């Protein structure tokens, strides 16, 4: 298994979503462990099921602070509510998990995101085959609207970069299970 940071391809939906971005990254898992390229819907579900207990605690802290600042927050905060949302998720445009609403999709990409008063973010779940490898990518873009957005992302950015790599590593085992059925 190999995880690398790669450029966001110009033909991806996420690349066409915003005229200007202030931050972008794309982490790629390249593996032969998967039988097939997983469905992007399954990638999104595996993403949320791959959160470590520490990340879940940080997200709950973020939600509490964001609520006080009047920012958008997830409406399903208990583990039972989150698990039910994951079980029922179909990956259609308009569906959402937490604040990650499906904005667009095609055969290889599921584009999610949210626009808020401080910033807009997009996260794409990308899955395809290349040569003998199955590729899964997590591509992120962020556009700031104001000083609050810049301060918020300055604080969040190191955590984002750290956890995205680890989530992608943890997603592999979840996706192996999903593609073996």
The torsion angle over the Cα atoms of residues 176, 177, 179 and 181, rounded to 10 degrees, is 150
Structural domain span for residue 170: 2-174
Q: How much is the pTM?
A: 0.90
181 lies in some domain: no
Burial 77-92 (b: 16+ CB within 10 A, else e): eeeeebeebbeebebe
135 lies in some domain: yes
165 lies in some domain: yes
Q: Is the dihedral of CA 46, 125, 102, 90 positive or negative?
A: negative
Number of independent structural domains in the chain: 1
Q: What is the CATH number of the domain that holds 128?
A: 3.30.530
107 lies in some domain: yes
Taking only the tens of pLDDT, the chain with its 181 residues reads 588 999 999 999 999 987 889 999 999 999 988 888 899 999 999 998 998 888 888 877 777 877 787 777 777 666 787 778 888 888 999 898 888 899 999 999 999 999 899 999 999 999 999 999 999 999 999 999 999 999 989 999 999 999 999 999 999 888 887 666 5
Tell me the CB-side half-sphere exposure of residue 56, using CA atoms within 13 A.
12
**pLDDT score recorded for residue 145:** 95
149 lies in some domain: yes
């Amino acid at each position: 298994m190999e995880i690398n940071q790669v450029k966001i391809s110009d033909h991806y939906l996420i690349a066409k979503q915003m005229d200007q971005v202030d931050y972008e990254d794309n982490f790629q898992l390249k593996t032969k462990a998967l039988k097939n390229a997983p469905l992007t819907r399954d990638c999104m579900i595996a993403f949320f099921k791959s959160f470590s207990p520490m990340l879940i605690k940080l997200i709950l802290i973020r939600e509490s602070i964001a609520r006080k600042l009047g920012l958008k927050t997830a409406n399903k905060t208990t583990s039972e509510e989150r698990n039910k949302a994951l079980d029922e998720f179909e990956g259609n445009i308009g569906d959402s998990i937490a604040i990650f609403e499906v904005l667009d999709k095609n055969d290889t990409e599921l584009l999610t995101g949210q626009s808020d008063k401080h910033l807009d973010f997009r996260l794409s779940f990308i899955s395809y085959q290349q040569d003998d490898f199955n590729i899964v990518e997590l591509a992120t873009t962020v556009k700031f609207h104001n000083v609050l957005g810049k301060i918020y992302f300055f604080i969040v950015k190191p955590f984002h970069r750290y956890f995205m790599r680890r989530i992608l590593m943890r997603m592999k085992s979840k996706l192996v299970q999903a593609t073996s059925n």
